[in-house]
Amino acid sequence: VQLQASGGGLVQAGESLRLSCAASGRILNIHAMSWYRQAPGKERELVASVGSGGRSTYADSVKGRFTISRDDAENTMILQMSSLQPEDTAVYYCYADVDQIDSDDDVSLHYSTIHLWGKGTLVTVSS
């Protein structure tokens, strides 16, 4: 099972960008999904999370500008970012808690919960 993030790029302040994160592999269930970011010289920080029931939370710095969503049928997560500012410049990472199918036959199914990080996607906002 792996996560693949995409959608980063270079934009000007005030513009919008849409990040996607797709999970692939032998997946039974995906629990919470999140976006983190890490700016140069700073620690990685939580940007937004969405639970399996769809409830979302946001960092104060992005409230009202970013929207997180998920499509469980497609095992994807979206971060819609608007009114981007130079301080949003960072590498963005997706994260998910996933029930990975270990074995599956006619009698039983075995799975394990794993904690996955996707490779980052760079967002650069110019002033």
- Condensed to tens digits (0 to 9), the pLDDT of residues 20-68 reads 999 999 999 999 999 999 999 999 999 999 999 889 999 999 999 999 9
* pLDDT tens digits along 73-91: 999 999 999 999 999 999 9
Residue that wins the pLDDT comparison between 106 and 121: 121
- The burial of 32, by beta-carbon neighbours within 10 Å (0-12 exposed, 13-18 middle, 19 or more buried), is given as middle
- Predicted confidence (pLDDT) at residue 104 exceeds the cutoff of 90: no
> pLDDT-based confidence at 12, cuts 50/70/90?
very high
Burial 34-57 (b: 16+ CB within 10 A, else e): bbbbeeeeeeeeebbbbeeeeebe
